[in-house]
């Protein structure tokens, strides 16, 4: 019975809240109380431990501060692998994993980038299982990274960004764009920010980044003015930095922020998709072009590793050209 409950909850987890899952679990338990449920003989006797270990692993990732969106991705990959591999966890080998990834790519038509992302998530799970002594060795150890073409993400040029700003129609849009560009915040950090997080005297903003780590970012005078004008227009009592226009003026979600930025990009006639992370990327590139030290930018962006920040320098041929010309 426990196996059936675990399987139902794992299948439904991507589409329901924890509160809803608890209600479903209670309903299943009550409905099945008068039945004697046994697994088919064709299923391995210990298959249930796979579901249980997945649930425990995801709980650990959640406790470590992994965002809900990323948790959902992990849950989906692990669930699909478990359903496609009728084995107990101790018997899984590298060929099971290769077969799963190849079949998934063939049936779903995904690219190598997505395929490698799935490989990374499976590797994280099985590495933990190995480190915890649940399995004797990591079957992913001999599954090589999948090569794919890495497209250079071009930031908005100064002209494109100016055109983008000019196509903001509301004060909320102007404040939102100015805030993301000034701070370089991730969209999840923008969603979570509150008005009281801003210190106007120092023009600093306390944000909570990945792993629930706090850091200070800063707003320039232009962003401070746009935010002040936006707050003066608001009639709500929500502490959130950005809220919906309609009553009851709830905190603006990640998807809502993404939609706003996308629509402004369309109005501006920018012939590619514009999204919040591209504004963050644009801010980083423009700061590097103005000679901001890499370690300072790393701190502002909340990167654990300087290698992550260096991507902005590597993907910036204009900066490389300027540095070359200055040293010639």
Burial of 8 (0-12, 13-18, 19+ CB in 10 A): middle
First to last CA, the chain: 73
Neighbouring-strand partners of residue 205:
198, 217
CA 189 vs. chain centroid, Å, equals: 11
Mutual angle of helices 48-63 and 112-131, in 10-degree steps? 100
CA 134 vs. chain centroid, Å, equals: 29
- Report the C-alpha gap between 186 and 180 in whole angstroms: 8
Q: What six digits make up the tokens of 76? A: 């989906």
- Report the C-alpha gap between 219 and 223 in whole angstroms: 6
Q: What is the DSSP letter of 291?
A: T
| Closest-CA residue to 281 (of 161, 171, 156) | 156
- Residues belonging to the active site: 186, 210, 277, 280, 303, 312
The answer to whether 155 touches 286, Cβ cutoff 8 Å, is yes
DSSP 37-84: ----TTS-TTTHHHHHHHHHHHHHHHHTT--HHHHHHHHHHHHHHHHH
């Amino acid at each position: 019975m426990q196996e059936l409950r675990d399987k139902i909850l794992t299948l439904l987890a991507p589409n329901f809240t924890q509160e809803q899952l608890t209600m479903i679990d209670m309903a299943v338990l009550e409905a099945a109380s008068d039945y004697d449920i046994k697994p088919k003989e064709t299923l391995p006797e210990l298959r249930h431990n796979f579901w249980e270990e997945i649930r425990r692993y995801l709980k650990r990732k959640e406790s470590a501060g992994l965002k809900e969106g990323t948790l959902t991705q992990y849950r989906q990959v692990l669930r699909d692998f478990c359903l496609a591999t009728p084995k107990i966890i101790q018997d899984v080998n590298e060929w099971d994993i290769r077969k799963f990834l190849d079949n998934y790519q063939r049936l779903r038509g995904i690219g190598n980038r997505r395929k490698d992302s799935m490989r990374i998530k499976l590797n994280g799970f099985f590495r933990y299982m190995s480190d915890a002594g649940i399995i004797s060795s990591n079957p992913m150890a001999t599954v090589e990274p999948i090569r794919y073409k890495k497209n250079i993400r071009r930031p908005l040029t100064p002209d494109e960004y100016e055109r983008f700003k000019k196509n903001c129609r509301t004060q909320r849009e102007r404040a939102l764009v100015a805030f993301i560009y000034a701070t370089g915040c991730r969209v999840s950090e923008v969603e979570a920010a509150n008005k009281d997080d801003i210190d106007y005297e120092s023009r600093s903003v306390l944000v909570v980044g990945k792993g629930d780590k706090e850091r200070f970012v800063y707003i320039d005078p232009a962003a401070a003015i746009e935010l002040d004008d936006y707050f003066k227009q608001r009639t709500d009592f929500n502490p959130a930095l950005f809220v919906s226009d309609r009553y009851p003026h709830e905190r603006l979600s990640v998807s809502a922020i993404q939609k706003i930025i996308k629509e402004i990009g369309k109005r501006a006639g920018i012939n590619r998709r514009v999204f919040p992370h591209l504004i963050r990327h644009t801010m980083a590139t423009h700061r590097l072009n103005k000679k901001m030290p890499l370690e300072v930018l790393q701190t502002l962006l909340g990167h654990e590793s300087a290698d992550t920040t260096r991507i902005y320098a590597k993907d910036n041929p204009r900066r490389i050209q300027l540095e070359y010309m200055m040293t010639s």
